[in-house]
A and B are shown apart, each in its own frame.
Chain A
Amino acid sequence: QQQVKQSPQSLIVQKGGISIINCAYENTAFDYFPWYQQFPGKGPALLIAIRPDVSEKKEGRFTISFNKSAKQFSLHIMDSQPGDSATYFCAASNNQAGTALIFGKGTTLSVSS
């Protein structure tokens, strides 16, 4: 059973547009929801993260929207740039219980100039 489901698998956005990536999770005990960005040949790097006590978190052009009742969260990239072209992973964990991060399968974003 896939605990974190991510969509779409790939996404093409024009420069200046909004990129939206969605994730759904099953385990209601999850209490930490990060997004990671990965460039080819590199390890994932933490982009932004949210806890379930807030519905939205914004850092620069990146925003996480969180819907606890629907068990869904999404990443919005405003004013998308070619440099944002990468693979994005959502993840979740139960930090109270000290469980490791479970990652989604990833979304490959291409921002065309």
Chain B
Amino acid sequence: GAGVSQSPRYKVAKRGQDVALRCDPISGHVSLFWYQQALGQGPEFLTYFQNEAQLDKSGLPSDRFFAERPEGSVSTLKIQRTQQEDSAVYLCASSQGLMDEKLFFGSGTQLSVL
């Protein structure tokens, strides 16, 4: 596709529900990043994939957060037993090379946990 695509665009979950957020990066991009953006804040790093390998997951806030990219293209961010503090916009970004220069971001998934 022409850009990074994320779905769903909006997600409302009841506290305790599990959610799955999808990211379709730009075709051929090696690197894929997930960021969390709280209202009025800058994006905060969650995790990084190089192809199918998850090289850095130091930003995942708890073991309720899990990400995968099994075939080196589409990625899914899963949040188990959602909490109100998980409410945020989840941004996916991809880059052509191994470093994160020239990141291309999707429009994000806005997650609201009630």
Contacts and interface: CB of A to CB of B under 8 A. Distances in A.
B105 A100 contact: no
A86 to B, nearest CB: 14
B18 interface: no
Interface string B33-76: 10100001111110010000001100100000000000000000
A101 B33 CA distance: 10
A97 to B, nearest CB: 10
Given A43-B105, A44-B105, A45-B105, A98 B99 contact: yes
Contacts of A6: 42
B101 interface: yes
Contacts, number: 56
Interface residues of A, number: 23
Number of chain B interface residues as a range = 20 to 34
A104 B100 contact: no
A47 to B, nearest CB: 11
Interface in B11-47: 33, 35, 40-45
A62 interface: no
Interface of B: 4, 33, 35, 40-45, 48, 55-56, 59, 91, 93, 98-108
